[in-house]
Amino acid sequence: MCEIKEINKRYIDYATYNIWANNRLITDLTLLNDKLLYKEFVGSFPTICATVKHIWYAETIWLSRLKGDGNGAEAVTSFSGDNKALFSQWQATSKNFKEFTETVDLEKEIQFESKGDNFSIPSREIIQTVFNHGSFHRGQVVMMLRQLDVAKIQQTDYIEWVREKARGNI
């Protein structure tokens, strides 16, 4: 039983890290002229804003699937607010994801259909994939910021979160 609680704690820590990293990136993005968030780049997504929406979209649909609420993508696909509202919605979703992670049975199999195929994956694997996915795309946003000559960008790496946590800064 103790081993299961330790495993759950690790996933909760990863959810906490995800919020921390998202918030750091959001802090940096709010310092920019909004027009820069729509400058086009060659990459997975054409703009910083599109990349952020994609991260939010992934968190949203997977949280909905984990909860058994369908894919829940409408909040993201119909979003028409400004950047401040976008960041706020993304932060709320990340917080809800963490709260869900605190109570979920990590071994519960989640069934879903994608592109005509049916899948069954344990909750823990979906949760880990979503947080890894966010890290990947936050890295892409950092590369876009560097191309915009933004020099001051906060670290969002997991190891930096571990360091800050050990120092008592978070």
For residue 144, the model assigns a pLDDT of 97
3-state SS, residue 124: helix
pTM of the model: 0.93
3-state SS, residue 115: coil
> In the predicted model, what is the mean pLDDT of residues 154-160?
95
For residue 95, the model assigns a pLDDT of 98
Query: Cα 35 to chain center, whole Å?
Result: 23
CA terminus-to-terminus distance, the chain: 28
3-state SS, residue 69: coil
Q: Which residue has the higher pLDDT, 130 or 1?
A: 130
Task: List, in order of start, the domains of the chain with CATH numbers.
Answer: 2-166 (1.20.120.450)
Q: What is the pLDDT of residues 11-52, one digit of tens each?
A: 999 999 999 999 999 999 999 999 999 999 988 999 999 999
d(CA 152, CA 142): 10
Q: What is the pLDDT of residues 41-78, one digit of tens each?
A: 988 999 999 999 999 999 999 999 999 987 788 889 99
For residue 170, the model assigns a pLDDT of 85
Residue type, position 37, single letter: L
For residue 4, the model assigns a pLDDT of 60
d(CA 97, CA 117): 25
Whether pLDDT at 1 is above 60? no
111 phi and psi angles, rounded to 5 deg: -100, 135
3-state SS, residue 19: helix
The alpha-helical segments, DSSP class H, found in 31-113 are 48-67, 74-77, 83-103
For 119-163, give the DSSP string: EEEEHHHHHHHHHHHHHHHHHHHHHHHHHTT--------HHHHHH
Whether pLDDT at 2 is above 70? no
Residues 140 and 153 sit within 8 Å (Cβ to Cβ): no
